[in-house]
Each structure stands twice: as structure tokens, then as C-alpha cells.
A and B are shown apart, each in its own frame.
Chain A
Amino acid sequence: MKLSFSGAPEINAPLEAVWVRISDPHFVGRHGPGVESVEVIDETHFKVITGFGIGSIKLRFGIDVELTEVTPPTGMTLKARGKAPGSAVDVTAALSLEPLEGARTRLNWTAATEINGTVAGVGARLMEGTARKLTEQFWTRFADSITADAPANPPPPGVAGNPGT
């Protein structure tokens, strides 16, 4: 099954600071749902181990991430292929950063996900909701975390909470 998501959360940090964070696989990985480890293979290839549940099924995915196009400091595209027993997930995603007034940054992102196997067959009814929730959680935590790292720009109330849709 195919699912597409996108969002444009605003982050209370300057573009360059966001770029540094977003280019750091360990930092990104820390905010992914259920991420257990991030292994950097080279500048554009990472291996992520993550575990999470959809309905009654618990899955542990090994995900190979490849940065397919990197244009510092404003954008990148990536491909990820995750495998779990009886299931597979393929993701293509694009990010672009946009500077905003007041040393803030908008992070525009889109992700197309293809979900295959048991996780699609058993979790279909719950899939869209769960995938959306996990995606939103990821960006919320990511944005919050960068904001917290940039004390020079304390977040105005309520701003960082916009994870997009």
C-alpha cells in the first residue's frame, strides 16, 4: 500500500543550525520512532535499526538509507528501504529548508511510503493513522530538539508545535 505525507513545520532556529542537525544521521536517528541504532557507512549511506508496533504486530526493521541528492544548506532527497520479517517498507523523501524572519526556519518535507507484506495485510486498517502519527511525532520531536539546542532563540509559545500534516 502506498501512503504519502507532507508537512512544513517551523523551527525556532536559523537555517544553518537546522542544516547541521539535519545532516547529522545520529541526531536525526535519535528522533526516529523506536530507533535503536544508527550506523554511518559513508557520507550518504546509513543503516538504522528501529522497532515499533502497528496494532498487534511488533516489528523490528533494518533500514538502509541513501541520500540521493544533497544541496547544502537547503535541501536533500533520500531513499530508504526497510526490511522486517515478512514485511518491507520503501520510502522516498525530499526536504527543503526555507529561512524565515526572526532567525527561524521552515522545514518543507514530503515522503512517499510503500508498505509491503504482513504489516500491510495485518495492519491495513491501522496503517494510515499509525504512519501519520509516527511521522508527526518524528518531526515534532526533531523540531523541538533543535529549538532546545538553540537557546539564543527561545521559542515563542506554541510555535514549534506545528509538525505539519
Chain B
Amino acid sequence: MATLFGSGIKRREDPRLITGSATYTDDVKLPGMVYAMFVRSPYAHARIKSIDVAAARKAPGVVAVYTGKDVKDRLVPVPCAWNPPGCDLKVPPHPQLAWDKVRYVGDAVAMVIAETRAQVRDAVDLVEVDYDSLPATVDPEKATQKGAAQLHDEIPNNIAFIWKVAGGDAEAAFRSADASVKERIVQQRLLPTAMEPRAAVASYNRGSGQLTLWCTSQNPHIHRFLCSVMLKLPEHRVRVIAPEVGGGFGSKIPAYPDEALVSLAAMDLGRPVKWTEDRSENYKVTIHGRDHIEYVEMCGTRDGKITGLRTRVYAGLGGYASTAGPGIPTILHGLIYSGAYTIPNILGVIHGVYTNGTPVDAYRGAGRPEAAFLVERLVDIFARKIGMDPVEVRRKNFIPRDKFPYTTVTGLTYDSGNYEGALDKALGMLDYKTFRADQVRARKQNKYLGVGVVSYVEICGLGPSAVAGAVGFGAGLYDSAIVRVYPTGVVKVYIGASPHGQGEETTFAQIVADEFGYPVENVEIIHGDTDNTPQGWGTYGSRSTAVCGSAVKVAAVKLKEKARKLAAHLLEANEADLEWKDGKFQVKGSPDKAKGFAELALMANVAWNMPAGMEPGMEASAFFDPTNFVYPFGTHVCTVDVDIDTGEVKILRYIAVDDCGPPINPMIVDGQIHGGVVQGLGEALQEIAVYDNEGQLLTGTMMDYAVPRASQMPFLELAHTVTPSPVNLGVKGCGEAGTIASAACVVNAVTDALSPLGINHIDKPLTPARVWAAIQKAKGAKP
């Protein structure tokens, strides 16, 4: 019987998504429901002098108005849940509604609730807020300097933490190196731009004391936990439901003020309260990504051996510490500085800095793209300095295939890898040598072609819970599944992960169907409701398949074992004489004496004839805690043509060779790579969230923030190598890989094209204006 594992069947969630029959949070309509909207600060930094809500209270349809002073003693401030050890993290209180000071444009100062959406929209405009504006600081490096505006009185120089990663002796390595290079790299702020903005509907039953919160969540169990803390409610009185969720990219991990506020209002009013973000609001108040200023250095020998890497990073956190904010530029960034290489000496000093911007948290890749970007940029710049082909420098420093598991000087143990294999495959697809020859010919005709190569490795499958605890992450990182088989043999699987576009309703069903000898139609995957799914930690960090998928498998295997025992009992055979063949347990050599899984499920569910000591029913649960992270890797290669007169970058070819272990559903893996690469190309070429010096977000709409359009994207040539992880399913995760590789790949290609002009680096996004300016500067600097 053919297995479903490895089969690119169509996504089972798509029919409802593409026919409009899915239910998103904003589709939830409850009797008596009222609507909330927030009054948000137009200032990036200001003292609140007074708030006059009298006119809003009297407006038609208004049922309640709340200010910060009304709620500050009733709610626990929005928690930060990641406190990396040894860095003296300072977390200021983050009130749900600002009451003394606002710290970014969009910081909420009041909530208005009215009978209809139109009425609440009118009423928020009637709230009069008097501010005393203060100087703002938006640049994470300048914010630490003397004279910069101070966001929080108790946090001098806006420095939330200084975190260090060190291995070997970087100072000594740089002192004794043949050659070294350095660069200043800005990894711009990005707006996650999930297709569905955030939303929340809260409903409170005064009789039972039960709060139900529908919200746009990547991790409903984390939201349940944090909402129970903020609302001071027992956790079992809080039910969080993430219905259909239209993308997250990390932005739907954190706890936000709004979810707690609509819950509080629902409890006060005894009526369901709904809030739905609009796009401009989404850009202002939903977390942003990246925002690093990095001083980076690499050193090595003249023949290409990298001996040291050093960084000093200023990571903007925004006005407050978001849920996972401090963990992103530290644990998920600095620990992977070794990349795919045996770098013996590493020192990173990361400053987490409060600025008058929207809080920064996980955005696709979360810390790892920033690390891959700086490492892969430095490899190219170093190669150029010593006059070596960047591909050869990579080869020379790769962790060799036979050295896995490999422990980096930063303390990570990579599970498995074959970096050279992926590199060879990608270069073969391009025909690297021929391209280099074409490049030389083209330059004679004043055409600037370039090739960028990136060999990335990432930390995925987050992760062992003991490690989560050790690195200060305030949650577990195991995951869970309940496999419930109905009397007719069909299956529902309740999972702790919370997919929102990744296709796990398909891939997880493939795992279970294979185990039971079923067509995939017999299995449904249920997720997103904390009242019926087991404790889990959500979907992010390319963890769902590696961790939750493993839990699904373990639970299914438990039932298969039960079914085997029951089959032996019913067939009056020895368990050892049974074999699993063609989807049935059969007595070896007697194919007519066989029981399929559905029949065994019926017998277990009716329990008429059970073996002694066997419980009735066909249901099992599993909690899977991985022993290690998984480390997917790959090589991306792209070629570009840079118009020397206009600065326009044209991508000629984009080749991605990724290794995420054995793919359960190759079509879904390719879809994840496609989306990831495109998101990275957006970052490389056109996306940037711009604050002016006063902290005004100038890219407040999709007219100003340049999300990639399909017509702008090149054809993506995908291929894979398969190096299984030694942990359970062997799979490694592929959700973030594309983004981690592609931004650096494009910048490497463009700087390669412009290397005759002596251009080593141009900061993303490589808009024509920026590339053109770099060309002019380089030409002007020439004698």
C-alpha cells in the first residue's frame, strides 16, 4: 500500500478557504454583541495631560468608555514572557491603556464600546485627549546615547539589556588574523502584514463565570495563560479559540493589550464585545520585526579559513518589551552566529533598546534571518578581501558532513547536515562556472551581472522544554496530540499546535492515515480551541511538524499497538504471528484471517470482547518533548542584472535548495519555501517601515509599505536534499527557511555585480534609489 508520507496531496483546508466558507474571528457574531474601538496616540512620545470622555459617553449607541485610569488597577500589565539569563533585562510596566505617558504612535489611551461599528467609529473621535509632546527617539543606536529622549524613568539610556554570546577568544583571533573585514549593517524594521489583521471577540457568561475569547492567535494556550494572568481569572475559566487565522508570521504570537481589554469589557457589560483591527491600525500597533543596527567583523587566514566573528548589535524593542521580544535578538540570533561554519572564536554583544516605535517581536525567522544575513554578508566581504571565490570560502569552512552532531562554540549542537551537498546541487542547477564566464563577458559590455550564494542553517523545531526554561522562555516547548477514533473507525486528532496557513490539517492527517492504513479522508485534525485540544505551545519557529507532528505520530503508534493486541485476541492468534500488511493485521500466511483498523476501532469502542485488562475505547494522547532542536539548512543562489544607470535590480534566476529532512507533503514544503523566499525578497528589495525623527510612522498604509506583488517576483527554481534529523519523524521544518536565506542571497548578488566599483555592502531594501546612490558614491570616490 502506498504511503501518504511523502505524497504531495492537495491541501485539505483549501476548499473552505477559497470558497469563503471559513470562519475567521471577525465572522463570529453573537447575540447582543457590541463593538470596541481604541483611541490611539498620534504622538510617539508624550505626557497625557487630560482625557475628556464626556462627549463620547453621550454619543449615540455608546455603552462604555474606558481610560487607562479606569483599568490600571484591574488588569495585570501586559507581560513579557522571555527573560534571557545573564543580561539583566529591564521590563517596564506595559499598561493596556496608557495613563501617564504614551510611547509610540498607536499606543492606546482609551477604549470606546458602542452598539454598532459605525457608532463606535464616530464616538472614538469625540474623546478629547490633551498631550504634552516630548522629544522622541527611534534609532536603536542613538537611543542609547547621551541626550536621547528617555522612555522609561527607571531604565537609563533606554537600555533594556546587554546580552553577550562568546565562544573561543575572538579578541585574540582578530589580533592574530591575516585579514579582517568589518561592516555596519542596518536590518530595517519590517511590518509582518498578515493578510488578516488582528481581531478579538470576548464573551462572558455571568452564570458560569466562563470567559470565551476568540482571537487571531498562533498559540491559543499561550493566550489563555497570559489572558488569565492579565485578567486575574482562574485559567480554567478562560477558553481561547483561534478559529481560522489568516497568517501570522510571528505577529499573532504575543499577548496584546486589546485582547485583555475587550475581555474586561465583556465581563463588565455581560455582553459579547468585538474588536477588529483595520490595516493602518495593524501597521501601527501589531508588532514589527527586525530593527537592528549591527557592527560586524570577520577575520581569518589569507587562504580562506575563518577564525573569528564579532558583532555589536543595537536591537530596537519598541516602546515596551513584547511577549517574546527580548528573546529574538539574543537566544534566537546570537547563538547561531556560527552559521554553517566551524568558526572557532565568536563574540556578540547585543543591546536591547527601547525606542518610540511599535514593539518588536518575532517576524518570520525571528533573529535567525538577521544572523544568517550578517554571517553570509561577511563571508562574501571577507572572500573579496582575500581575493577568493566566496563559494570556496564557504566550502573551506563548512562543518564537514561526518562531524555531526556538531557543537558550535556558541553551544548549539547541530543534529545533522550535509552543507556541501546542498551547495553542489544549487551551483549545478545554475552552472556556476558558466555564469562566472558570462559575467566577465557582460562586464566588457558595461552590463553588471552578479551571483549571490547563501548557505544557511537555522534553529527550528523549538524545542526541548528544559532548554526553553534554561534560556528564560516562560513556556514549555513540547507539543501534544489526542487521537480519538470513533466507533465507525474515522479519526479526529486534537493538537496543541495552532496552524494558520501551514497546512497541518493535511500533513498531520497523512501521518495518522499512514499509521492506520486509511485514506486521508478518514482523519480530521482539530486545532485552536483550548477547551478541546491538549496543552500545547502553538505554531511558530518552524516547530509544528517536527514537534507536534511527532506527538501525533506517537499517539497514533500507541493506538496501533492497542489495535495489534486486540487483533491478536479477536483472531485467537499470537501477537507475534501477526503482521501489518495492506492496511490490516493478518496472521502470517493466512491473509483471510485479518482485521483492519476500522473494524478493530469498532470492537474497541463497543468493547464486547476485549482482552483481559485492556481498557475500552480507542483514544490515546501523547506529549512530545524533543531532545534537541532541528537544524534545517540549504543553499540559495540567485543571479541579478543591475542597471548601472538607474540602480534597478532585476533577478534573473532564483534557485533554492533546501534540506528540511524527508518532506511529508512536498507540495506544502514547496509552498512554504515559495512564501518564505518571497517574503525575504520583499525584505531585500522593497520593504521598510519608516519612522521619521519624531517617531511618526510614515509607512502607515499598503500604499507606502511595499509588500511584494506576484508580478514583481521571479520564477523560483526549487530543489531539495534530504538529510533526516535523528529525532522522531526525521523532519526539520521549512516555514522560515526561505526568508532566512533569500534576503542575504539578493544582497550578495547585487554587491557581487557591483564589486568592480568597490561596493561591499548596501543596506536593504535595495530600492533603485539606494542602489543608484551607492553607485554614484562609489564612482565619485574613484580617482
Instruction: Report the Cα distance A117→B105, complex, angstroms.
Output: 7
Chain A residues closer than 8 Å to B125, beta-carbon distance: 85
Say whether, besides A117-B105, A121-B283, A121-B701, A2 and B42 are in contact (CB < 8 Å).
no
Q: Is there an interface contact between A118 and B694, defined as CB atoms closer than 8 Å?
A: no
Mask: chain B, 112-149; 1 = CB below 8 Å from A; 0 = not? 00000000000011001101010000000000000000
Instruction: Report the Cα distance A113→B670, complex, angstroms.
Output: 50
Q: Does A103 contact B (CB under 8 A)?
A: no
Q: Is there an interface contact between A116 and B696, defined as CB atoms closer than 8 Å?
A: yes
Interface stretch (choices A8-16, A71-79, A86-94, A146-154): A86-94
Q: Does A125 contact B (CB under 8 A)?
A: yes
Instruction: Report the Cα distance A120→B40, complex, angstroms.
Output: 14
- Name the one of B42, B280, B704 contacting A125, with C-beta atoms under 8 angstroms: B704
Instruction: Report the Cα distance A86→B37, complex, angstroms.
Output: 12
Chain A residues closer than 8 Å to B44, beta-carbon distance: 116
Q: Does B501 contact A (CB under 8 A)?
A: no
Q: Is there an interface contact between B133 and A121, defined as CB atoms closer than 8 Å?
A: no
Q: Does A124 contact B (CB under 8 A)?
A: yes
Q: Is there an interface contact between B40 and A88, defined as CB atoms closer than 8 Å?
A: no
Say whether, besides A85-B124, A88-B43, A115 and B131 are in contact (CB < 8 Å).
no
Q: Does B28 contact A (CB under 8 A)?
A: no
Chain A residues closer than 8 Å to B699, beta-carbon distance: 121, 124
Q: Does A122 contact B (CB under 8 A)?
A: yes
Instruction: Report the Cα distance A115→B692, complex, angstroms.
Output: 11
Chain B residues closer than 8 Å to A115, beta-carbon distance: 696
Q: Is there an interface contact between A121 and B700, defined as CB atoms closer than 8 Å?
A: yes
Q: Is there an interface contact between A2 and B692, defined as CB atoms closer than 8 Å?
A: yes
Instruction: Identify which of residues 100-128 in chain A touch chain B, using a CB-to-CB cut-off of 8 Å.
Output: 114-118, 120-122, 124-125
Q: Is there an interface contact between B694 and A114, defined as CB atoms closer than 8 Å?
A: yes
Most buried by B among A83, A85, A90, A125: A85
- Name the one of B42, B284, B701 contacting A116, with C-beta atoms under 8 angstroms: B42
CB distance from B118 to the nearest CB of A (A): 14
Chain A residues closer than 8 Å to B40, beta-carbon distance: 86
Instruction: Report the Cα distance A116→B42, complex, angstroms.
Output: 5
Q: Is there an interface contact between A83 and B128, defined as CB atoms closer than 8 Å?
A: yes
CB distance from A92 to the nearest CB of B (A): 12
Instruction: Report the Cα distance A1→B695, complex, angstroms.
Output: 8
Most buried by A among B42, B131, B697: B42
* Binding site secondary structure of chain B: loop
The size of the chain B interface, using a CB distance under 8 A, is 26
- Which chain B residue lies CB-closest to A62? B128
CB distance from A113 to the nearest CB of B (A): 11
Chain B residues closer than 8 Å to A124, beta-carbon distance: 692, 696, 698-700, 704
Q: Does B693 contact A (CB under 8 A)?
A: yes
Q: Is there an interface contact between A116 and B694, defined as CB atoms closer than 8 Å?
A: yes
Mask: chain A, 11-34; 1 = CB below 8 Å from B; 0 = not? 000000000000000000000000
Say whether, besides A1-B696, A1-B698, A90-B133, A118 and B704 are in contact (CB < 8 Å).
no
- Which chain A residue lies CB-closest to B121? A85
- Name the one of A85, A86, A88, A118 contacting B131, with C-beta atoms under 8 angstroms: A88
Instruction: Report the Cα distance A2→B699, complex, angstroms.
Output: 16
Chain B residues closer than 8 Å to A86, beta-carbon distance: 40, 42
Q: Is there an interface contact between B105 and A121, defined as CB atoms closer than 8 Å?
A: yes
- Which chain A residue lies CB-closest to B125? A85
CB distance from B203 to the nearest CB of A (A): 29
Q: Is there an interface contact between B700 and A118, defined as CB atoms closer than 8 Å?
A: yes
Instruction: Report the Cα distance A83→B50, complex, angstroms.
Output: 14
Chain B residues closer than 8 Å to A88, beta-carbon distance: 42-43, 131, 133
Instruction: Report the Cα distance A53→B319, complex, angstroms.
Output: 30
Instruction: Report the Cα distance A130→B128, complex, angstroms.
Output: 26
Instruction: Report the Cα distance A88→B42, complex, angstroms.
Output: 6
- Name the one of A117, A121, A125 contacting B43, with C-beta atoms under 8 angstroms: A117
Instruction: Report the Cα distance A11→B415, complex, angstroms.
Output: 80
Instruction: Report the Cα distance A54→B712, complex, angstroms.
Output: 29
Chain B residues closer than 8 Å to A120, beta-carbon distance: 42, 105, 692, 696-698, 700
CB distance from A13 to the nearest CB of B (A): 37
CB distance from A128 to the nearest CB of B (A): 11
Instruction: Report the Cα distance A125→B105, complex, angstroms.
Output: 18
Say whether, besides A87-B42, A88-B43, A122 and B105 are in contact (CB < 8 Å).
no
CB distance from A165 to the nearest CB of B (A): 22
Instruction: Identify which of residues 50-87 in chain A touch chain B, using a CB-to-CB cut-off of 8 Å.
Output: 83, 85-87
- Name the one of A2, A85, A87, A121 contacting B698, with C-beta atoms under 8 angstroms: A121
- Name the one of A2, A116, A118, A122 contacting B693, with C-beta atoms under 8 angstroms: A2
Instruction: Report the Cα distance A122→B105, complex, angstroms.
Output: 13
CB distance from B319 to the nearest CB of A (A): 15
Instruction: Identify which of residues 55-108 in chain B touch chain A, using a CB-to-CB cut-off of 8 Å.
Output: 105
Chain A residues closer than 8 Å to B43, beta-carbon distance: 88, 116-117
Say whether, besides A2-B692, A83-B128, A86-B42, A116 and B698 are in contact (CB < 8 Å).
no
Chain B residues closer than 8 Å to A116, beta-carbon distance: 42-44, 105, 133, 694, 696
Chain A residues closer than 8 Å to B700, beta-carbon distance: 118, 120-122, 124
CB distance from A8 to the nearest CB of B (A): 27
- Which chain A residue lies CB-closest to B128? A83
Chain B residues closer than 8 Å to A114, beta-carbon distance: 133, 694
CB distance from B639 to the nearest CB of A (A): 33
Instruction: Report the Cα distance A2→B694, complex, angstroms.
Output: 8
Instruction: Report the Cα distance A86→B41, complex, angstroms.
Output: 7
CB distance from B727 to the nearest CB of A (A): 46
Instruction: Report the Cα distance A117→B42, complex, angstroms.
Output: 4
Instruction: Report the Cα distance A86→B128, complex, angstroms.
Output: 10
Instruction: Report the Cα distance A120→B700, complex, angstroms.
Output: 8
Instruction: Identify which of residues 355-409 in chain B touch chain A, using a CB-to-CB cut-off of 8 Å.
Output: none
Chain A residues closer than 8 Å to B697, beta-carbon distance: 120-121
- Which chain A residue lies CB-closest to B129? A83
Instruction: Report the Cα distance A26→B44, complex, angstroms.
Output: 34
Most buried by A among B133, B698, B699: B698
Instruction: Report the Cα distance A86→B106, complex, angstroms.
Output: 9
Instruction: Report the Cα distance A116→B135, complex, angstroms.
Output: 13
Most buried by B among A117, A121, A125: A121
Chain A residues closer than 8 Å to B283, beta-carbon distance: 121
Chain A residues closer than 8 Å to B692, beta-carbon distance: 1-2, 120, 124
Instruction: Report the Cα distance A117→B704, complex, angstroms.
Output: 15
Instruction: Report the Cα distance A125→B705, complex, angstroms.
Output: 11
Instruction: Identify which of residues 415-444 in chain B touch chain A, using a CB-to-CB cut-off of 8 Å.
Output: none
Q: Is there an interface contact between B694 and A1, defined as CB atoms closer than 8 Å?
A: yes
CB distance from B278 to the nearest CB of A (A): 11
Instruction: Report the Cα distance A32→B41, complex, angstroms.
Output: 26
CB distance from B259 to the nearest CB of A (A): 21
Instruction: Report the Cα distance A112→B131, complex, angstroms.
Output: 19
Chain A residues closer than 8 Å to B701, beta-carbon distance: 121-122
Chain B residues closer than 8 Å to A125, beta-carbon distance: 703-704
CB distance from B572 to the nearest CB of A (A): 75
Chain B residues closer than 8 Å to A87, beta-carbon distance: 42
Instruction: Report the Cα distance A160→B41, complex, angstroms.
Output: 41
25 A–B contacts, CB within 8 A, in A order: A1-B696, A2-B693, A83-B128, A83-B129, A85-B125, A86-B40, A88-B42, A88-B133, A114-B133, A116-B43, A116-B694, A117-B696, A118-B700, A120-B42, A120-B105, A121-B698, A121-B700, A122-B280, A122-B700, A124-B692, A124-B696, A124-B698, A124-B699, A124-B700, A125-B703
Interface residues of B (CB under 8 A from A): 40-44, 105, 124-125, 128-129, 131, 133, 280, 283-284, 692-694, 696-701, 703-704
What are the 9 closest A-B residue pairs judged by CB atoms, nearest first?
A: A117-B42, A121-B700, A85-B125, A124-B698, A120-B696, A116-B42, A88-B42, A1-B692, A121-B697
Given contacts A87-B42, A116-B43, 16 further A-B contacts (CB under 8 A): A1-B694, A1-B696, A85-B124, A86-B40, A90-B133, A114-B694, A116-B42, A116-B133, A120-B700, A121-B284, A121-B696, A121-B700, A122-B700, A122-B701, A124-B699, A125-B703
